[in-house]
Structure 1
Amino acid sequence: MTKIGHLEDTDIDIAIDEGEAGERRATELATRLRMVAAQDPLLAQDLVEELIVALDRAMNGTIRDHLDGPALGVADRVLRDSDQA
């Protein structure tokens, strides 16, 4: 990443559309979660679980419809545990 004065080149990168902007934000979130996981895996797991619960709530309980494979299994476990809490 190139530094331009006090700005980074990513600070001036403008998304073409909202979909692209959303993908960039998701990529940045994933990168930050990986950084946290490298330092504190348990904290990263807690954050991911909280994110799953929050996304399910925001999506009116339909997050499972958008997942498959291992991600669906994790979401099922997390959401089942959050319902019991």
Structure 2
Amino acid sequence: MTTFGQLEDTDIDIAIDDNEAGERRGMELAARIRMVAAQDPELAQDLVDELIVALDKAMGGTFREYLDQEPSDGAERTLTDSGSGISPA
């Protein structure tokens, strides 16, 4: 870590572009979900499931294409129950 006067380089938080800003927001969201999961894993899973459904709706039912792995059974059930047109694999 470099220190410039009383300002450290870790204190500077300027997004270079919109993609980087979005990535930072995503990392902040993931960190918050991890904090919830440490306290209440079931609540964290419910939040993730709801987030997946909301993202799927916002993307016109194509969010699954962006997932690295299959969603949990809860998310799968929630996507199917929400009428998003996604049926269990």
Aligned in 2, Cα 1:59/1:67: closer, same or farther, shift over 3 Å?
same
Higher-Rg structure is 2
Residue correspondences, number: 75
Which residue of structure 2 aligns with residue 27 of structure 1? 27
Bigger RCO (CA 8 Å, 6+ sep): 2
**Residue identity in the other structure for 1:58:** A
User: What is the TM-score of this pair, normalised by structure 2?
Assistant: 0.70
Task: Compare 72-81 and 45-54 and name the one that shifted more.
Answer: 72-81
- For structure 2, the residue ranges without an aligned partner over 5 or more in a row are 1-5, 84-89
Where does 1:1-85 land on structure 2 (aligned, <5 Å)?
Answer: 9=11, 12-71=12-71, 75-83=75-83
Q: Which has the higher helix share?
A: 1
Contact 2:50 2:75 in 1 (8 A): no
Question: Could you say what secondary structure the match of 1:16 adopts?
Answer: coil
Same amino acid, percent of matched pairs: 67
Looking at structure 1, the residues matched to 72 and 44 of structure 2 have their Cα atoms a distance apart, in angstroms, of 18
Aligned in 2, Cα 1:72/1:63: closer, same or farther, shift over 3 Å?
farther
